[in-house]
Amino acid sequence: EATLDLAERRRIRSAIRELQRQELERDEEALASKRFRPERSSHRQDDKENWPQSRHLEEEQQAALNALSEQLEAITSVEELTKLLRAAGEYEERKLIRAAIRKLRAEEIEGEPLFPCSR
């Protein structure tokens, strides 16, 4: 219906804008949920020929991470670990190095006396 009251027109326009905003939010939520859906089986079928190669790369990466973990156990300097952290490129490497830094700092804190003697 047509209305001549300007205040009513404003209320109608703001209600329409609110409905449009809610619809956009629903669409964005739907898109976000689609992005994180698990792979469909047809896509897995296409990827089967690459599976052995990717499996081999994962094993190599895991071996490299294990070697890095052993190397980090031998390092006792936070500064040296920080240098390694800045030079690391892979997420998993940085994750291991940060864990080693946290471990060293926790050991340093545990090793310090709570109340230093001032004699």
Q: Residue ranges per domain, the chain?
A: 64-112
Identify the band that residue 119 occupies on the pLDDT scale cut at 50, 70 and 90.
very low
**pLDDT at residue 25 is higher than 60:** yes
Average pLDDT, the chain: 79
Q: Which is higher by pLDDT, 47 or 112?
A: 112
pLDDT of residue 15: 94
pLDDT in tens, 49-65: 666 677 777 888 888 88
The two three-digit tokens of residue 46, written as one number: 């296409």
CA atoms within 13 A on the CB side of 74: 4
- The pTM for the full model equals 0.47
First to last CA, the chain: 91
